Amino acid sequence: MASRRFTEAIAEGDGISVLVEVHDVGAASMAADHGAEALVIRAAVHGIRETCDLPILWRGSGPLSDAVHAGADACLVILEHHAYDGERLEELHAEAVELGLDCVIEVRNEEELELALERLDPEIFLLAGTPDDGESELEPALNLLADIPAGKLAVADVPVSGREQVEELERAGVDAVIVKAGNVADFVGDAPPQV
């Protein structure tokens, strides 16, 4: 099955895309059946490309070549892990592009966002962070979203418990949200098509 590039999957269409973190082929198939736009994996999942054509975001550790071998279309680079290691951040970004992977840059605060824009100017950001006292679980991502330049894509990595929170992120302008495997239909706006 042909895979779609990750960027296209979350940029096309109306509304927010739901990305589902999966650990096995069964969960990947269920996510696809229930309307997920892409999958997120932390390790290679045997048979995932043969059973599912959704784009895959690699969130694993190790070399980026592991992402390619796992069938991923995109990889996550955590800015905090590489920003102060000489040119390593730029090297990883260039390697991802050379390997044909979309490069998603995780930022957790405004400083990291500024640094990412200055050094890489990436197309896709993963917005993460820990809420301060009194903040909702969504606030770290929503606060960062305000500073994402127009034309860039924003993926929220925040705990969501239902469609209401997904809709709040969508209204704010978030392009995609990562959810855990399970009843994906609870997070997707429309009911899955009947087959």
CATH number at residue 154: 3.20.20.70
pLDDT (0 to 100) of residue 24: 95
Domain-embedded: residue 144:
yes
Secondary structure of the chain as H, E, C letters = CCCCCHHHHHHCCCCCEEEEECCCHHHHHHHHHCCCCEEEECCCCCCHHHHCCCCEEECCCCCHHHHHHCCCCEEEEEHHHHCCCCCHHHHHHHHHHHCCCEEEEEECCHHHHHHHHHHCCCCEEEECCCCCCCCCCCHHHHHHHCCCCCCCEEEECCCCCCHHHHHHHHHHCCCEEEEECCCHHHCCCCCCCCC
Domain-embedded: residue 193:
no
**Structural domain count, the chain:** 1
Domain-embedded: residue 119:
yes
In the structure encoding, which two tokens stand for residue 140, read together?
């770290």
Residue-level pLDDT, tens digit, the chain, 195 residues: 344 589 999 998 678 999 999 999 999 999 999 999 999 999 999 999 999 999 999 999 889 999 999 999 999 999 999 988 889 999 999 999 999 999 999 999 999 999 999 999 999 999 998 888 888 999 999 999 999 999 999 999 999 988 999 999 999 999 999 999 876 877 886 544 433
pLDDT (0 to 100) of residue 175: 97
Instruction: Quote the domain boundaries for residue 67.
Output: 6-185
Domain-embedded: residue 108:
yes
pLDDT (0 to 100) of residue 185: 77
